[in-house]
Each structure stands twice: as structure tokens, then as C-alpha cells.
Structure 1
């Protein structure tokens, strides 16, 4: 059985590599044109391709853990918040993207957007936050596929982690963004099909729900608090996902971007709600959810043994679809950050390879990265509003930087005030026990918004005087 499982996973990765390598630009572009096509695939993708790419690149192994657990323990209200938060970044870029394309017709990244609005200093800051967030995302995804492999098979987890990392690195290093977009299209359809198969078979294998079964539901106030926390955290963080920004310029035109964003957003909401709903059903059925609880895999424990193989292929598909997007995104930022000539292909490739080394090392340790993820989300929440206000004519670099710093202070202020010490505020903002709480995120958003807008308006009044 381990050999069959390894062969199936190897075949899936081989197919992804074949599709990615086949998608590389066939014509002989050279110089700046080759770099631009590698990093942006500019104006080349239809609305359906953009929508499927948003879905595939946004879905990772996390959907097999977080939504089912939220559904099982907090209920449908919080699950809806998670689904909306997962889709909202696509909708924001779909609505905001046409303005960005008009302001930066030759743009490629969130860092370029920040520089155009505020200057090179802010660009470095935004690039650092974006790369830190994406590195956490990469480590989390590879760690997750290792854990799932150990749970569902006898294949060594390190083998699958290395296989996914090296395969995706191969085709993104050669084909760039086009390779990621091409595999996303197929991976999106594959993950939908596998979700239907795995979820459907797992549900049919469940015992009949007991008559006293009740829908999991936390008190409404708690559920709304969790939902709002997840909306803020996921939206703010994903707006610093360079892979999503690349798709702003990859779309054929503004209409393709807008339609693609709505397709991707709607599909994401459906997928997250469906798989979270499986967690709700698992909790209602009375099956043992495990310790720590993993409702999705608890369902599989009741299903036929053969279902473990398609479930593992599903997990590999989810991880590969997000990892290749992140690798291409990091290559884009690395190329532009250190080159004054619009980017460098060798630099982009080697920078991505170099970053993957510590990411794989962390993933091989099998440690939890949820706390790091929450801290990265909070850092993004502290500066997302000042960055997005860049197209507002009254905004100034000073207002943006001060707003970002105020956001970081605002994140620790609630804990500081409630518990009476700075150290307590810092501890609360670092999410002990990896529990997401609303106060640091609200504090970060409110402080950054108030300071940014206030200083921008004050600067205009001073200038007018």
C-alpha cells in the first residue's frame, strides 16, 4: 500500500510539473520583455482562468483543518465569517484592481504600488511584511502536508514535503507566473472533484444522526466575535499576498479581472462552507473528533480504507496549488526589490530557491505555525489600511508610516489597558495558545486608520494655510 500511495502522489506531482513546464512562454522573448512575462503574464488571462486561479491559489491544506474545526465547535455563524474572509481579498482586488491598473499600467506587485504612492522607503517595508507573511504560509502548507501524510498513509512525510517543494519549484522557476496559472486551472477542477468524492463517500459511511443531535453553536456574541476576527485577519493578511496582486495585471482587461474576482470569491465561499459543513456534521454525528480535534479526518476514520488515497491526493493538490503561487510571488518581489532595471530572472529564481531552504527545514520539524500565522496576520492588519489609502490624493508618506506604526501600537493597546502592563499587551498580541482574539485586530485597524486619515487631513490643512 505505501508503494501504491507513493506512486499515486508521484503521478499527481508529475502531472502538475508537466502542465507547468508546458505553459512556459514558447516565443523567444528577451531582456525586459522576458522578465515582465515571467513575473506578470501581463494582460493574458481570461476571467475564468483568473477565477479558478484565485480559488486554487487561495485554497491550501488549511481548509482541511480550520473550517471543519470552526464549524464543529463554534457553528455556522463563525464559519460564514471564515468563508467571507477567505473570499473578500479577491473581491477587494476585483473592485480596486482597475484603479491600480490605471495608476500602474506596467506594475507587477504590491511593493510597486506602495512605492508609487509613498516612495521607496515604504516599498521596502511592504515587501518585508509580504515576504514574511508568505514564508509563514509556505511553512504552514508544507507542515500540513507532512502531518496529513503521516495521518493517512505509511509514506514518510519528509518524502512528500520534499516532493511537493521541489516539483513546484521546478516548474515555477522555469515557467514563472504562467506556469502557476496553468496548473491552478487544472488543480481547481481537480480539488473540486476530489472534495465531492471524498466528502460524499465519507458522509455515506457515517452512522445515522442521533435524534438528539443539535447544530454546534457558540453563544451569538462569541460566534460573531470569532467571525469578525477571522474576516479581519484573513482579509488583511491576504491583501499582502503578492500572488493575488500578480493576477491583477495578468488579467486580459479590467472586466476579466472583475469577473474573475467574483468567480474566485463565490467559489471560495462555497468550498469553505461545504468543507466546514462536514465538520458540523461530524460533530452532530457523535464520532470522536480526536485530540487535538480534526473533524474532517474524523469523518475519514468512519469511511472505507481506500478513501485515504484520494484524500491524500486532494491534500497534495491543495498544497501544490498554494505553494507554486507563493513561490512565483516571492520570485516577483525578490526580482524587483534588488534590481534597478525592472527585474532579473536569475535573481528571481535563486532568491526563491534560497528562501525555500529554511521554509522546508521548518516544515520538516513538524512544529505548529498557527501562532506565527496569527502574528503575521496582525502585522498585516496594522498596515493594510495605510497601504490601500495610497490612491487617496490627500495621503502622504508620513501619514502612511505613522499610521502603520500606530496600528502596531493599537494591536498591543487592548491587552495593555485591560491587564495593566506593556508586557501583558505584547503577550496578548502574540496569541498565546494560538487562539485568535478580536481585540488586537480591532485595535490595529482603528489606530492605523485614525492616525493615517487624521495626519493626511491635517497635512492638507497646514499646506492650505
Structure 2
């Protein structure tokens, strides 16, 4: 069976590579390599937002949220997953008008606030995307071990090398081309795997009820997820690239709404499977993995399409992250003339430590939460950059206040700054609302106050 599984996964990765390589522009300039400027339709962008935003995480987190916290928190997760696309769809046209030759969130920050803020924002963005990459590759290793006899390291390296091949050579166009097919493939596979698993689900007990916790607690979890996921994904350079890749402002807006709507539907569907698994009384495992618990009741052959689904999910997010990190590093270098060869080298070099971390099989959830919190602390000051009254002082002060605001709830609750820092580092790897809410509120209030009291002396073009 391992030979068949290896052959099927290899064929899927080969198809992705061929699709990506066919889309490349052999004679295209660096700008086209990292932005595919003004070339993509609304439907392509919508499918790309869906595919690049989805990852192996949807097979773990939404089903667990649905199974243990219930529909309210699941709705928060779905909204948080889609909201970054909507924000960029609404805000992106203004960014395009004020920065028509832009390429990255770092360049946007520099145009608004200067080179110092650009470096800060770029560092946070790269940290977040590196965590995302490591998490995705770690997840595909775990899923491979769970569903097959194929060595997990083989699949981890296979996904990393294959996506690296077509993104390093083809740039953003390669990622966008594969996203279209990966989006449709993951929808079909998810419906097949989920449908067959549901058919084989045990009959619901008479006393079955929707999983739920008290409404107040569920709303707290939902709000935490909305803030954390939205703030972090607004530092995803792969999404910012698509702001300039859109054919025009209308295509960007429609593509963002399409990507957001389909993302909500997919997250709700997968999370709903988790709720049904919990309601049916099947063993969810230890640690609980409701989606894969459903597969335990399904025919053995379903493991193969489930594994192809997981590989598709990982590849669709990994290629976007690889190209996003490379483009941010290139755009952040301050040298507009950096060669495509150098951009490709950056892509390869940055993947080496990520793959090494992924092969360790470590949990990166706590690091992910810390990166989310850093993003939440500075997301509002960054997005306020187009407001004419905003200054570098207001942005930096807002970011610092956001970090202090993240620590303050734990400081007040436990009586010491050290306890506040510990609480804001999520020692139990569980997302809690106070640090995220404190970061968001403090950064917003301080940025707005300083900008209002000490506005920019002279108007600027961006």
C-alpha cells in the first residue's frame, strides 16, 4: 500500500509542479516575478485566496473547535479566516492608488512611516510566515504517519522541494496558477472524504446535542479567534502580493469577497464534521482529532484521498508562503534592481531552516500564538498609514503600547509584570482573549490619540 500511496502523492506533486512551471514568464522582470502586476481576474484571485489561505490546519483546528466549543466559536473561526481577504478587498484599492508600484507590506509601511518601521513590519511578517510554513510541513508529516506507512520525512521533503521548484522558477504567477487547480481539487476531495465519512458515521444517539459551552465563554473564544487570525493574516505577504496582482480594483474587490465567502463555507463545513463526530459518540482520540476520528469509521480506501487532500492543502499554502517570504525579503532590501536569481536564492535559503524545524515534529502552536499577538499589537497602526494625520511617532508608540497592552491583563490579574509576560506567551498553548484584546485596544487608542494631538506637519503623497 505504501508504494501506491507514494506513487499517488508523487503524481499529485508532479502535476502541481507542471502547472506552476507552465505559468512562468521566462523573460519577465523581477517586478512580474514578485507581483504579476495587474494581470489576475476576480475568479482567479478568489480561488487563490481560498487555496493559499487553506492549509492542513483546517483538518485539525476547526473540527476541534466545533467538537468542544460549539457553533458560536466555530463561526468566529470562520469569520476570522475570511476577514483578512475582505479587509484587503476594501482597503486594497486605496493602497493601489497611493502606492501603484508597491510590492509588499514592508514597502507600504516605509511609504507611510519610513525605513525603520518597514524593517519592524517586515520582520514580524517574515516571523509569522515562517511559523506558518513550519506548522504546515509539520502537519503533513503527522498526517502521513497517521494515514499511511510512507515515511513522513519523505512527504515533508517532497512537498517542500516540489513547491520550491515551481515558485523559485515561476514566481507569483506559478503560485497563482496552481492555486486555481488546488482550490477546486481541495473542494472536491473535501466533499468526497467528508461525504463518505458521514455515510459511515454511527447513528446519532437519542440524547445527542450540539457541543457547546456557556454563551459568554463561546463568544470570548470567537472574539479571540477573530482578532488573532485576522491580525496575523494581515501580515501575510502572500495576500498583499495579490493586491497588486489584481487586474484592477474591481477584480480585487470581487476576488476578495469570493475568497472570503468560500473560506467561510469550507471552515464551517470542516468544523461541522467535528461537531457531528462529537455528537455521534465516536472516540475522538488522544489528543482529540475529530476529523480523523471520522475516518476511523470509514472504509480503509478513504485514507488515500484524505492524504491527497492534506497534501493539496499544504502545497497550496506552502507555495504562497515561499513566494511571499522571498518577495518581502527582496522588496525589503531597498534595492529595486535585485536580480531574479537573487530572489530565487532567497527562496531556497529561507526554506532550509523551516524544513529542519518541520522534520523535528515539534508543536509550533505556542510560537504561532506569540506571532499572532505581535501582529495584533501593530496591525492597527500599520493600517492607519493612509490617514494623513498619522506619523511615525504615532505608529511606533501605538505598536509599543500594543505590546504593553498584551501584558497588562496578566499583570493586573496576577500582580507582577513577569506574570503578565508569561500569560501573554500562552504557556498552555491555549488562545485567551485578554492579551489579544489588550494589544488591539491599547495600540488603537495610543495611535489615534498621538496622531490627533500631534499630526503630521506637512501633507504627504501616501
Q: TM-score, normalised by structure 2?
A: 0.98
1:269 to 264, 267, 271: 264
Question: Are the aligned partners of 2:390 and 2:456 in contact in 1 as well (CA < 8 Å)?
Answer: no
The answer to whether residue 328 in structure 2 is matched with residue 333 in structure 1 is yes
SS at match of 2:241: helix
Q: Residue 437 of structure 1 corresponds to which residue in structure 2?
A: 432
In the TM superposition, what is the alpha-carbon distance from 1:337 to its structure 2 partner? 1.7
Q: What is the number of residues matched between the two proteins?
A: 459
- Kindly report which structure 2 residues correspond to 1:215-254, keeping only aligned pairs within 5 A, or say none: 215-254=210-249
Aligned match of 2:154: 159
Distance 1:195 1:364, change over 3 A: same
Map 1:46-445 to 2 at 5 A: 46-445=41-440
Q: Secondary structure at 2:178's aligned position in 1? A: helix
Change over 3 Å in CA distance of 1:456–1:339 after alignment to 2: closer
- SS of the equivalent of 2:455 reads helix
Give the equivalent residue in structure 2 for 1:14: 14
Q: Per the alignment, in what secondary structure is the counterpart of residue 433 of structure 1?
A: coil
Shift of 1:349: 1.4
Structure 1 length-normalised TM = 0.97
Question: Do the aligned partners of 2:277 and 2:290 also contact (CA within 8 Å) in 1?
Answer: yes
State the 1:209 CA deviation.
0.5
* Alignment partners' CA distance in 2, 1:397 and 1:205: 58
**Once the two structures are superposed, what CA deviation does each residue of 1:107-130 show, in whole Å capped at 9, x if it has no partner?**
111001000100111000000000
C-alpha contact (below 8 Å) 1:336/1:342 kept by paired residues: no
1:7: Cα distance to partner? 0.4
Query: Aligned partners of 2:291, 2:377: CA distance in 1, in Å?
Result: 33
Q: CA deviation at 1:462?
A: 9.2
> Does the CA-based 8 Å contact 2:389-2:456 persist in structure 1?
no
d(CA) in 2 for partners of 1:348, 1:245: 17
Query: Does the CA contact (< 8 Å) of 1:234 and 1:377 recur in 2?
Result: yes
Question: Does the 8 Å CA contact 1:56/1:185 hold for their aligned counterparts?
Answer: yes
What value does the CA root-mean-square deviation take over the aligned residues?
1.2
Structure 1 position 460, deviation (Å): 3.0
Task: Decide whether the 8 Å contact of 2:391 with 2:456 is kept in 1.
Answer: no
8 Å CA contact 1:70, 1:276 repeated in 2: yes
Q: How far off is 1:194 after superposition?
A: 0.1
Displacement of 1:437 in angstroms is 0.0
What SS does the aligned partner of 1:289 have? coil
1: CA distance, partners of 2:21 / 2:96: 28
Distance 1:172 1:335 in 2: 14
Q: For 2:428, what is the secondary structure of its paired residue?
A: helix
Q: Secondary structure at the match of 2:77?
A: helix
